[in-house]
Amino acid sequence: MWRWRTKRGYAVISVLPIVALLLLYPHPRRCVYFGLICKSELYNLMRETYGEQWSTLVPPPGPECTTEYANANRLQQDHPCVLKLIRSEYLYQPSDVPLNLSRPLVADPSSGQSKVVLAHLRNQTGGFFVECGAFDGELGSNSLFMERQLNWNGILIEPDRKSFDKLLSKRRHAWALPVCLSTEPFPTKVSFESNYQSGKINVQNDEEHMKMEAERLKMNGIKLIDVQCFPFYSILLAVGRTRVDYFSLDVEGAESQVLANVPWHLVNVKTLTVEISSQNQTVVSQVANHMKAYGYDNKGLMKGQGFYDLVLVKRS
């Protein structure tokens, strides 16, 4: 009897550490991701819709909230730390003084995108745009006409720092960020080709590819710079918007990856123009079919100066 009790007592003692671990590390479906806990099955914003529960579980960003931390731990798109970083380190307020344009007499500097989009929006006034690939905020801008003539505001995104500084000098009445849109569902830092209007994310898959890329960049005088990227949804949340009337996406080849990592069930984007570098039907079909699954109709390609824009409109 004494030996049985001893064994029983030993059994109880051996179970206690397991119980403690279960309390410290909750079930993955209820996991709070702000460290290295529960990495095996994280809350996935792309698939789940219980955003209210997520926001109540996550603690406010602490002293460890840095860009490096957010990148290394692949923080969720709506994580408080990610939103804090965007607001405090990257987001520029809209200007409250008159525009400072180089060519003020040019009413619409776009290649026709604004006209096409506004036709689908019935010349809507007071709308909200997001223009990624905004360059200097004036030359070739797809959103400037809307801002000047129809009282729109929005978000301008331009990762090339030289172009971004010029953009700020235009005093656009829109939020502005010197970042790129992430091709992943979390923040990342990438190598970016600083190349005037043709800047893009530099993808290096292997050593042989890296050598070829280095030769190409050197021959064309293109510099590589490190640029921080944030998901589209994170940027929207940082400015307090989930409804967008027009999304202009021009990221020189990474459009498909950007669109694939948007939680479309959590945003309402009425119209898009997506730049396609060539009239490649495979790429066009890939983008159009992906967006069709989220309720967007393909309104065809419009030709610009050396590029094509795929026009997408959300079904009402």
Give pTM, 2 decimals. Answer: 0.78
Domain spans of the chain, in order of start: 26-90, 113-181+234-314
Ordered per-residue pLDDT tens for the chain, 316 residues: 444 444 444 444 444 444 444 444 333 333 343 333 333 345 567 765 444 444 445 556 667 899 999 999 999 999 999 999 999 999 999 999 999 999 999 999 999 999 999 999 999 999 999 999 999 999 999 999 999 999 999 999 999 899 999 999 999 999 999 999 999 999 999 876 655 554 445 455 555 555 556 555 556 556 777 889 999 999 999 999 999 999 999 887 788 899 999 999 999 999 999 998 766 788 889 999 999 999 999 999 998 766 789 999 999 8
CATH T-level topology, domain 113-181+234-314: Rossmann fold (3.40.50)
**Residues 6 or more apart whose Cβ sits within 8 Å of residue 283:** 256, 276
